Amino acid sequence: MRALILGVVLATLAHSAVAGEAVQLEGRKLAGQTATGTCGGASIKVSGIEGEWISPGGTVEVKGRTGLLHVGSESYMFMEDRNVVACVASKAGPKIVLLAFCDARQCPPSNYYIIDPINVRIETTTEYGECPLSCAEKALGARLPDLLRDGMSSSE
C-alpha cells in the first residue's frame, strides 16, 4: 500500500514538471534560482532555475547512499538549452529523470537521463550519449507521464 501511495504521489509530481516547474522533487523547497528536495532517499540540489526551466549553466547535485553526482560538471553529461528534473515512479522504485532540450544546434532535440538516486548511477549511458523517449521508458520499465514525454520520439 505504501509503495502504491508513493507511486501516485511521484507520478503526480512528475506530471506537472514540464507544465511550468523546472524541478519536481519530494519536499521541494525553492529559494531564488535554487531548489532542494529528495527522491528515493537521495538529497538533490538544483541551481540555475530560470522560470519554467533549468538554464544551460545550471547544475544538479545528487547525494545518494553510495556517492555524489554533479550533473553539469560531468564531461559525458551536460545541461542543454532548457532542462527539467523530476522524481518519477518506476518498477524498481523512484528514479530521477533529467530531460534536456537542445534548441537548433548539432545535438538531439531532446535527451533523457535516468539516474538511480540510491546508487547515484546514470542508467541511460549509451555509446553516443543519446537517449530518446523510448530509451528512457525502457530504463524506467514504465511509461513517463505525458508532460515528461518530449513529443519528438515515440516509445516502442
Q: What is the pLDDT of residues 32-65, one digit of tens each?
A: 999 999 999 999 999 999 988 999 889 999 999 9
pLDDT(99) > 60: yes
Q: In this structure, is residue 45 part of a structural domain? A: yes
pLDDT(1) > 50: no
- What whole-number percentage of the chain has pLDDT above 90? 46
Q: How many C-beta neighbours within 10 Å does residue 75 have?
A: 5
Q: In this structure, is residue 92 part of a structural domain? A: yes
Q: In this structure, is residue 112 part of a structural domain? A: yes
What 3-state DSSP class applies to 40? coil
CA distance 83 to 31: 18
| Model confidence pLDDT, tens digit, residues 109-137 | 788 999 999 889 888 877 667 889 999 99
What 3-state DSSP class applies to 131? coil
- In what helix (H) or strand (E) does residue 137 lie, and over which residues does it extend? helix 133-140
When divided into structural domains, the chain yields a total of 1
Work out the pLDDT band at 10, boundaries 50, 70, 90: very low
- pLDDT, residue 151, reads 56
Q: In this structure, is residue 50 part of a structural domain? A: yes
151: cell is 513529443
Domain span at residue 121 reads: 2-148
Residues 57, 27 contacting (CB under 8 angstroms): no
Q: In this structure, is residue 137 part of a structural domain? A: yes
> Which residue has cell 529523470?
97
Mean pLDDT of the chain: 80
- pLDDT, residue 140, reads 93
pLDDT(145) > 90: no
Q: In this structure, is residue 143 part of a structural domain? A: yes
